[in-house]
Amino acid sequence: MEQSRREFAKKTAIVTAGAAVAAGTSVLAATGNSSVQDDTNNGVVKGSSRKKEILYRKTAAWEEFYKAAK
């Protein structure tokens, strides 16, 4: 009984993955886009937001973290 459930789960996963690949391929073919990037943007996506991106702010919590990490 347990073995048949495992086999069913395996087969279901394989069929689902195959269907997903087929659907992705057909959508890609329909849109005409490919996963190959051209050299015009070097893979960098430039947004239109005017906000400045802040990656780090020096705070007491960060200082404590960095001291503990060393």
pTM: 0.30
Domain ranges of the chain: 1-34
Cα(2)–Cα(8) distance, rounded to whole angstroms?
10
DSSP secondary structure letter of residue 36 = P
Average pLDDT value for residue range 15-27: 73
Distance CA 6, CA 4 (A): 5
In this prediction, residue 68 carries a pLDDT of 94
Res. 26: pLDDT tops 70 = no
* Alpha-carbon distance values, 41 to 15, 27, 45, 46 (Å): 37, 24, 7, 9
What digits encode the pLDDT tens for the residues 33-43? 555 556 677 77
More confident residue, 47 or 65: 65
